[in-house]
Amino acid sequence: MIKVAPSILSADFAAMGEAVKKLKNQGADWVHFDVMDGNFVPNITFGPDMCKAIRPLTDLPIDVHLMVEHPAEWITPFQKAGADILTIHVESSERHLHRALQAIHAAGMKAGVVLNPATPISVCTHLLTECDLVLLMSVNPGFGGQSFIPETLRKIRELRAEIEVRGLPTLIEIDGGVNPETAKLCRDAGADILVAGSAVFKAESPAEAIKAIRG
């Protein structure tokens, strides 16, 4: 079953609570929460305090995508803020990714790594047993509303093949430029979770958009 994770980066920041409250009825599976530090990526969004603020408003899992340097420093703050899933970039300054993934698990959250478009799948091969999910970026991180990079499809197929051959339960999440059309390509290539920001929040009917993305 495909999961859809609307990215609240594209929601109205002045009405964030209302947007989050509606997501479950609109058919969302997870709330995708984009953390940017103005350093790893050229943009700044929000942090643990925002996570804490929205936590009581939904029972959907909060999927925190850390686009920050030193991501391990944020494991405890996000655990305390009620996050369910924490993903860290392999390109970040974290040298000990394996240890960081273990620390996320020890903190009671699901863990995963994120790969930028330029990063090969081989980087995460030896981390897969520690990953509940791998997030493949289908745009360069930092902003919503960019176009899907088609090369991502080859990466999804490669990762899917590796996961299947080893019989692992690791899920594949795709983030960036996902709309009903690119979602179909991702599903066919073997994706499990589809993140969508603008395609959901800028749609006339977010519920219809989520349905179309799920396929």
Owner of token pair 């999440």: 173
Q: In the complex with ligand DX5, which residue's Cβ is closer, 112 or 144? A: 144
- Is 197 an interacting residue with respect to ligand DX5 (CB under 6 A)? yes
Contact indicator for 124, 131 with CB cutoff of 8 Å: yes
| Chain mean position to CA 57 | 20
Owner of token pair 């405890």: 76
| Of the candidate residues 64, 75, 101, 196, the single one contacting ligand DX5 (CB under 6 A) | 196
C-alpha–C-alpha distance, residues 81 and 17, integer Å = 15
- Is 195 an interacting residue with respect to ligand DX5 (CB under 6 A)? yes
Q: Which of the 8 DSSP states describes residue 27? A: T
| Of the candidate residues 29, 34, 37, 130, the single one contacting Zn ion (CB under 5 A) | 34
Amino acid at 128: L
Which stretch, 28-36, 52-60, 71-79, 117-125, contacts Zn ion (CB under 5 A)?
28-36
**125, burial (CB in 10 Å: exposed 0-12, middle 13-18, buried 19+):** exposed
- Is 87 an interacting residue with respect to ligand DX5 (CB under 6 A)? no
**Interacting positions 161-190 with ligand DX5 (CB under 6 A):** 175-178
- Is 119 an interacting residue with respect to ligand DX5 (CB under 6 A)? no
Secondary structure of residue 93 in the 3-state scheme: coil
Taking alpha carbons only, the member of 207, 170, 211 closest to residue 190 is 170
Contact indicator for 152, 138 with CB cutoff of 8 Å: yes
Q: Which residue is nearest to Zn ion (CB)?
A: 65
The residue annotated as part of the active site, out of 29, 34, 84, 192, is: 34
User: Residue 177 binds which one of Zn ion, ligand DX5, none, with CB within 5 to 8 A depending on kind?
Assistant: ligand DX5
Name the token pair of 82.
């009620």
**Interacting positions 148-187 with Zn ion (CB under 5 A):** 175
Amino acid at 146: Q
Catalytic, 175? Answer yes
Mask for 24-43, x = binds ligand DX5 (CB under 6 A): --------x-x---------
Residues that bind ligand DX5 (CB under 6 A): 7, 9-10, 32, 34, 65, 139, 141-142, 144-146, 175-178, 195-199
Residues that bind Zn ion (CB under 5 A): 34, 65, 175
Active-site positions read: 34, 175
